[in-house]
Amino acid sequence: MSKEKKMFEKVCEYLGCDLDSEPCQELQEHLHKCPQCEVFIDEIKNTVKLYKKADECEDTPKSVSKKLFATLDLDKPDEDKQEED
Amino acid sequence: MLENEEKIVEKAQNGDNDALATLVNEYHDRIYHLGLSMLKQEQDAEDMLQETFLTLVEKIQQFKGNSSIYTWLYRIATNIALKKLKSKPRKYPHIPIDEPDFKKIHEEETKEEMEFDFEKVNNYKFRKILNDLLDELPPKYKTVFILRDLHDLSTRETAKILDLTESNTKVRLFRARNYLKEKLEQLKSEELMA
């Protein structure tokens, strides 16, 4: 397998992993020398970041939570009761 | 994760309703959030939430502790969501199964990096665009993206929840990420994101 092909596989493997994890040294070295790959990886990272930001949401609405506990016939733990009082 | 979670689970398995309520209280936000991410509609997310915890109550004795309770709950919830998605069949676009053409990428002149305006997510219209793009992904890719990137589960946990190998999970995640990136780029070039 060519060195280039191996490198592409490493880039793909990295892009399916934790994006904040340190890529292997060889890949880092490649990225420093390769602006095309760097742009590609940064765009993937920023896409994920954008979705993560858009997905930030508040807690379950109180009415939904209350209905859930009623359906399950369970008492809500104290902290919620206190908040409601 | 709850402190003394194993003990709480054990108590819940032995019929302690307070312990069960503690588990429901701890995890229902995450499960509701997962429902919203996967199904988009509040009513569907609420139904999924209810079904997930009814299953927990019904089957908690069957939980063997091979994974954490939240991984088990995610598994139940994800299966319910996937069933709901299947019940509303639709046509999904073709997702390229090949790796991106890195050879071509390397041969191209360095392109200008796509700009991301993270403040735009506060705009309803823009959020809808993002949601619609995510919704275009076939469930098998969308689910991996949601679990790994939006819910921060590990590759191992995601693989376990979806009965996949870790390699397959990584491949699906990469394809989902790459598809979304490409679509955003396309939209940008069409100036729809202006």
A12, A17, A42: residue with CB nearest B113: A42
Question: What span, in angstroms and rounded, lies between the C-alpha atoms of A71 and B1?
Answer: 24
Q: Is the pTM of this model over 0.90?
A: no
* Start-end of H helices in chain B: 5-13, 17-39, 42-59, 69-86, 102-107, 124-136, 139-145, 155-162, 166-189
For B144, the token pair is 């991996």
pLDDT along chain B (194 residues), means of 10: 89 95 95 93 95 97 90 96 88 67 63 75 83 91 95 93 92 90 83 52
Shortest distance, CA B60 to any CA of chain A (angstroms): 13
State how far Cα A78 lies from the chain centre.
32
Q: Which of the residue ranges A10-19, A46-55, B75-84 has the most confident prediction, judged by mean pLDDT?
A: B75-84
Determine contact: A64 vs chain B, CB below 8 A: yes
> Of B135, B181, B90, B139, which Cα lies nearest the Cα of A55?
B135
Return the residue of A nearest to B156 by Cα. Answer: A17
Residue B55: per-residue pLDDT? 97
Top-confidence residue, B169 or A59: B169
Determine contact: A76 vs chain B, CB below 8 A: yes
Interface test with A, best of B107, B178, B185 (most A CBs within 10 A): B178
In chain A, what is the greatest distance between 2 CA atoms, to the nearest angstrom?
A: 68
Residue B187: per-residue pLDDT? 82
For B136, the token pair is 């275009």
Return the residue of A nearest to B130 by Cα. Answer: A51
Lowest mean pLDDT among A28-42, A53-67, B25-39, B73-87: A28-42
Residue A37: per-residue pLDDT? 77
Interface test with A, best of B8, B11, B25, B57 (most A CBs within 10 A): B25
SS3 of residue A57 by DSSP: coil
Instruction: List Cβ neighbours of B52 (8 Å cut-off, separation of 6 or more).
Output: B31, B73, B76, B77, B80
How confident is the model over A29-40, as a mean pLDDT? 76
Q: Given an 8 Å threshold on Cβ–Cβ distance, is B180 in contact with A4?
A: no
Res. A82 pLDDT band, cuts 50 70 90: very low
Determine contact: B118 vs chain A, CB below 8 A: yes
What is the CB neighbour count within 10 angstroms for residue B126? 17
Residue A11: per-residue pLDDT? 66
How confident is the model over A48-63, as a mean pLDDT? 87
Amino acid at B165: T
Top-confidence residue, B166 or A30: B166
Q: How far is CA B98 from CA A9, B13, B133, in A?
A: 12, 46, 20
Determine contact: B177 vs chain A, CB below 8 A: yes
